[in-house]
């Protein structure tokens, strides 16, 4: 159910991309209880002219290796779960592919369960509509 977009500057190889995807998914599995088949992750690479960020916002010294991770997920997790999730992502990505903790930016976008369609034009997580309500 989480949908993840990972944005970074152009120039990293396929192994680096794979480490990013796997690191985020590993954190999801361990902290958000995401099923093994629930994997929807895309990577967007940007030229320097289209990748802008505050290099020192909140006194965090970011480098050109900044990775911005946006996860859209159901709004069902506690603050403690979210904090554990952010830490797990950062810890995993500092090990592989070797990001600095300062270069891991995460944004969690929470949505209601009925805001998903995984195929067939159906809202698989939505409450069924009775014939009277249709």
Q: Which of 2, 35, 48, 101 is catalytic?
A: 2
Structure tokens at 38: 């629930």
DSSP class per residue in 23-50: HHHHHHHHHS---TT---EEEEEE-GGG
CB of 40 within 8 A of CB of 2?
yes
Look up 2 and say whether it is catalytic.
Answer: yes
Q: How many CB atoms lie within 10 A of CB 103?
A: 21
User: How far, in Å, are 15, 38, 39, 110, 132 from residue 113 at the CA level?
Assistant: 33, 15, 17, 9, 22
By annotation, the residues acting in catalysis are 2
């Amino acid at each position: 159910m989480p949908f993840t977009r990972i944005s970074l500057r152009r120039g990293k190889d396929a192994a680096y991309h794979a480490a990013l995807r796997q690191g985020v998914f590993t954190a999801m599995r361990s902290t958000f209880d995401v099923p093994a088949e629930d994997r929807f992750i895309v990577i967007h690479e940007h030229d320097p002219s289209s990748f802008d960020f505050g290099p020192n916002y909140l006194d965090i010294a970011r480098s050109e290796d900044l990775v911005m991770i946006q996860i859209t997920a159901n709004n069902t997790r506690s603050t403690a779960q979210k904090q554990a999730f952010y830490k797990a992502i950062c810890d995993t990505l500092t090990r592989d592919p070797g990001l600095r903790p300062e270069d891991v930016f995460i944004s969690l976008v929470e949505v209601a369960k009925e805001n998903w369609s995984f195929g067939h034009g159906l809202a698989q997580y939505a409450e069924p509509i009775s014939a009277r309500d249709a």
